[in-house]
Structure 1
Amino acid sequence: METYLCKLNSVISAKIVLSNENEIIELHILADDNRHSKQISRDIQSLLISKFDMDIDHKRISIAQIKGEKVDLKDFRLKIGSIEFSTIEKRATVKVVLEKDDKVFEGVASGPNTSSNSLKLLGIASLKAVEQFVNCPNTFILEDIKTYNLAGKELIVVGITYLDSSSEQLLSGSAYVHRDIKEAVVKATLDAINRPMLKAL
């Protein structure tokens, strides 16, 4: 439920408090100030009814709005802090650390250590770090990564599906390989998600 609530317009984060009978007794929402709290509350009630068949009294919904806390696309620039790649026998683990101001966001992914899958692991780990940044898990799905030769240089192209509360959208991003292919994969991933559709987050 918290994952779906995070996808509502203006919602930044959500925390649900349950009773011993697994009923919602408190629902705490952190939101930006782009929309009125009553609109956000109605959206929350509508989502819970339509998606989970759960009718909640608006009095149980607590909404805190913070000015300027919404992710602004004009300032949606995450920097690469570090990329760690380790292998144990036939399995690889990737950790991508992204930075924004003085905060760090980490994403980890592991799987079979093949040449093609290692690139996918880099993309998945990058998306997990981004989801940590926007505080909305299960928002981005890595669909594919391809390498091309364009203008005599190696180009990384990624395809990513973005899921919002009511639809999905396919995004693409690209980056040339300058020094390190791992860095290019992360940059291509960030290029894909840095799109106007992130206003919905």
Structure 2
Amino acid sequence: MGAVDVRKKVTVEEIESLLACLPGVQRVRVVVNDWGAIEEVHVLTGLGRSPKQIVRDILSALKAQWNITLDRKKVSVAQVQVGDLHLSVRLILAGLEIVTDQLSRQAQVSVKLQKVEDDRTVTYSAKSEAEMHETGMLLAAAKACVKAANLTIEPDNFFTVEDVVSTRIRDKTVILVLVSLITPGRHEDLLGAALVRHEPLEATVRAALDAINRRLESLPPRGSLFRAGRMIDVPEDETGTEEPDEAEEEQAEMEDGKAGVAESPAGEKRKEGAKEEASIKER
């Protein structure tokens, strides 16, 4: 009796999110073919770790998380000085407005964020309402900032505000903002901090941005998912797929890229005549 082909799905964005969390990795782009098989993995890193270590981490992460075996030749690593990384993906505070209603004791906080996209400056705005007391106002500022930031990334990925705290360090007031990043299959807590130099609400937005900008460059920008709906098949259980040694790399290069074959429309048309090439070894 033949083996049952039990598969689960993983998106390109899930793979990029996982690899972006590896030590030393700054940015990741995964390229797949029409069937969803991984063709290329491009990684941008700093100089703290060797390319060989980065590649080994990537292969191990894919194998451990989804049982995907990938040929090391498909991983390309570029190393740059951390200070040389293009910072246009970072959001900056461009405007902060507070409107209060003394009768209802309600306040509306509006935040404008900016970043450079294709040599032009784009502004993102959002609002949040709260009662007119310090804690509520600080939370409103952080939530407005997060709402604006979420406009820059694909909806499957989003930030949320968990808490805002104002504290003292010696004679300085510091704002701490706890932000959660939700991505497909993953939850991460991020903490941002900022000194109060002028006004607590402005410091709150800067603290929220301190947390958000740490992961923003690894997330897919809004409207960038031209691969939307493309899925990668991953075997539920696979045996005999150890990492190929140097003598077997040529053969492994042809087999390993099949670890993520998709059920895309283009793949369906060709699947009938290429079933063995479009799926992972079942045995």
- Matched with 2:206 is 187
1:65-92 residue CA offsets vs partner (Å, 9 max, x unmatched): xxxxxxx874432221111111222221
- Matched with 2:177 is 158
Amino acid at match of 1:35: V
- Matched with 2:135 is 116
- Matched with 2:33 is 38
Indicate how the Cα distance of structure 1 residues 105 and 130 shifts in structure 2: closer, same or farther if over 3 A, else same: same
Q: Give 5+ residue unaligned stretches, structure 1.
A: 12-32, 44-71
Of 134, 142, 165, the residue aligned with 1:146 is 165
Task: State the structure with more CA Rg.
Answer: 2
1:85-114 residue CA offsets vs partner (Å, 9 max, x unmatched): 112222211110011132100111113222
* Residues 90 and 216 in structure 2, CA contact (< 8 A), matched pair in contact too: no
- Matched with 2:74 is none
Of 104, 107, 124, the residue aligned with 1:105 is 124
Q: Give 5+ residue unaligned stretches, structure 2.
A: 1-10, 18-27, 39-84, 221-283
Aligned pair 1:87/2:138, yes or no?
no
Amino acid at match of 2:130: G
Taking the aligned partners of 1:200 and 1:94, their CA distance within structure 2 comes to 26
* Residues 6 and 135 in structure 1, CA contact (< 8 A), matched pair in contact too: no
Indicate how the Cα distance of structure 1 residues 196 and 147 shifts in structure 2: closer, same or farther if over 3 A, else same: same
Taking the aligned partners of 1:197 and 1:98, their CA distance within structure 2 comes to 13
1:197 CA displacement: 7.3
Of 140, 149, 160, the residue aligned with 1:130 is 149
Is the partner of 2:155 in helix, strand or coil? coil
Amino acid at match of 2:160: I
- Matched with 1:168 is 187
Whose RCO is larger (CA < 8 A, sep 6+)?
2
1:135 CA displacement: 4.0
Taking the aligned partners of 1:141 and 1:186, their CA distance within structure 2 comes to 13
Indicate how the Cα distance of structure 1 residues 196 and 130 shifts in structure 2: closer, same or farther if over 3 A, else same: closer
Is the partner of 2:205 in helix, strand or coil? helix
TM-score between both structures, scaled by the size of structure 1? 0.63
TM-score between both structures, scaled by the size of structure 2? 0.46
